[in-house]
Structure 1
Amino acid sequence: MHIRFPATDGFELAGTLYGNPETARAAVLIAPAMGVPQSYYTEFARWLAGLGHVVLSFDYRGIAASRPQAHARSLRGFEADIHTWAEKDAAGALHWLRTQVSPERPLHWVGHSLGGQIFGLLPNRHLVDRAVTVASGSGYWRENAPKLKRMVWWMWYVLVPVTLPLAGYFPGRRLKKVGDLPHGVMAQWRRWCLSPQYMMGEGGPTLQQRYAELRTPILSLSFTDDEFMSQRNIESLHGFYANAPKSMKRIAPSDVGMKRLGHFGFFRPQCEPSLWIEIDHWLRPSPLT
């Protein structure tokens, strides 16, 4: 069911609700990767709903169905940064799911890439019972996977500094990179990716403390053939969640009978019998393993 709901500042966001709230045993919020529309997670969300979860996916403001008609052709002048996406959009989605759909059942978080990075930024993260991060790591470019490292120098030091002031946003659709992103999002992401401490380089001790205070159990799923995130990227990010109980699983495609997983492959239907079940097991009430 396609829905509209407010971010915490009232901005209208687009989402899709899967499953039956009246019979669901738990609720799950899917937080997308950078520039990835919620539609990418449709099959995974339907699968979770079929197992008895009620699932909400959504688009951050400026992305896909949450892109205002007035900015259909260009995001020039559209104001948002990653903190906006986390503290207003994702927090608004979490609040709506808790208050309007599942006020008493367990509430879980599944974050893909950026969606796993921003969990600690949410002011209402305490609402989440369990979290899953998929291919989520620090974006510090010198720790990126070798294939990406060869490209990101050009992106961060040439392409983005040139295109942002010229276009007023990042015209990723035309450049065939990431997708269109608001100026503030791309500018902040660049600052983070150039810092060895990633987001902590900008956020400092205050942000470090926010992440360290989080106690939500986290399952991290990462992949040996991820073309973006190295093992060091994965470890760096989850080090920010210093005091959260963590189960870290690094998976090679051959471990699950597949030729390729990469940064995006987990959410393809072929992963249902071998990998999706990992998340269902994690979200079921059971002792931590």
Structure 2
Amino acid sequence: MERIELTTPDGATLAARLFRPVAPGRGTRAAVVIGPAMGVRQDYYQEFAAWLAEQGFLVATFDYRGVGDSRPERWRRSLRGFEADLYDWACDYDTVVADVARRAGDAPLYLIGHSLGAQLPGMLTQRERIGGLLSVAAGSGYWRDNAPRLRRAVLLFWHLVVPVATRLCGYFPGRRLRKIGDIPEGVMLQWRRWCLHPRYHVGAEGEVLRRAFEQARFPVVAWSITDDELMTERGTRVLVDLYSAAPRRIERIAPADVAARRIGHFGFFREQFRATLWARAAELFQRFPPHGLETT
């Protein structure tokens, strides 16, 4: 694993990690960029990324600006005044994809998007270089598309906790509140606006973003986890259908399918799924683009 720094077109510095293929004699099978979930540091994906490298993939993980290792030293104590929104985070994603595409040469490049990491690829300018997206535990963030038991708490979160805490601190103090981690003010308030709109980001941002998603042509396979405590199957379908011109498919995965008691919103990336879900993901990449993939 190699730690690298990348500079975005607008001058932000990103911390990323590169996992080079280590399978002897195979060369690079493909390149994979792992798009993180909201507030989740790239450390969480390290074991999975290292395993993919063992299978012959060139893999990159990264932190969005203001998060994890991409949080500048001067902002370590507080993100008050740190400027970023979700368009900036899409720019960060783009920067990593462009760098990995350059390193990969002619090898295909795929994305694994975890939650938010599958919501942003339609906003990327590097769409033509993407050979496919595996969406894991992702869907529309609209509050009515959350799991039923969360909806009342989510409304309280968006209408009270987020606006009050963000106004008081100048950023969302997630570490203190034990909710999703510290998030820049611009990101959090924009995400709030998305989550309160029935069509999520495409509805909140309007026609330009809707057209951007319609221009995506890379195939999308979405793994909807039956015991996901945050995301419903309906929410996954709403997100996947935003990629309206792309071949796309939703696959429901239950813990019993992989002899597990639980998977949940975060479980895919745990090492216990090395021989099951991880292996299935690696196999899927070998089948992209999925010719004849039916729209569902």
Q: 1:177 aligns with which of 176, 179, 195?
A: 179
Compute the TM-score of the two structures, normalised by the length of structure 1. Answer: 0.96
1:38 maps to what in 2? 42
Partners of 2:9 and 2:269 in 1: how far apart? 28
Matches within 5 A, 1:12-91: 12-20=13-21, 23-86=27-90, 88-91=91-94
2:141 maps to what in 1? 139
SS of residue matched to 2:273: helix
SS of residue matched to 1:221: strand
Partners of 1:190 and 1:202 in 2: how far apart? 10
Matches within 5 A, 1:95-110: 95-99=98-102, 101-110=103-112
What do you get for the CA RMSD once the two structures are aligned?
1.4
Unaligned stretches of 5+ residues in structure 2? none
Contact 1:136 1:229 (8 Å CA) reproduced: yes
TM-superposed CA distance for 1:208, in Å, is 1.2
TM-superposed CA distance for 1:10, in Å, is 2.4
2:235 maps to what in 1? 233
Q: Deviations over 1:242-288 (max 9, x none)?
A: 11111211111112111111100000011111211221111114653
2:169 maps to what in 1? 167
Contact 1:219 1:282 (8 Å CA) reproduced: no
Instruction: After the TM superposition, list the runs of 4 or more consecutive aligned residues in structure 1 that deviate by more than 4 angstroms.
Output: none
What letter corresponds to residue 30 of structure 1 in structure 2? I
Compute the TM-score of the two structures, normalised by the length of structure 2. Answer: 0.94
Matches within 5 A, 1:107-256: 107-256=109-258
Percent of residue pairs identical? 47
TM-superposed CA distance for 1:213, in Å, is 1.5
Q: 1:270 aligns with which of 260, 269, 272?
A: 272
Aligned length: 287
Q: Deviations over 1:221-259 (max 9, x none)?
A: 110111110111101101101111112111111121111
Q: Deviations over 1:135-173 (max 9, x none)?
A: 110000012102321311110011011111110000000
Contact 1:26 1:106 (8 Å CA) reproduced: yes
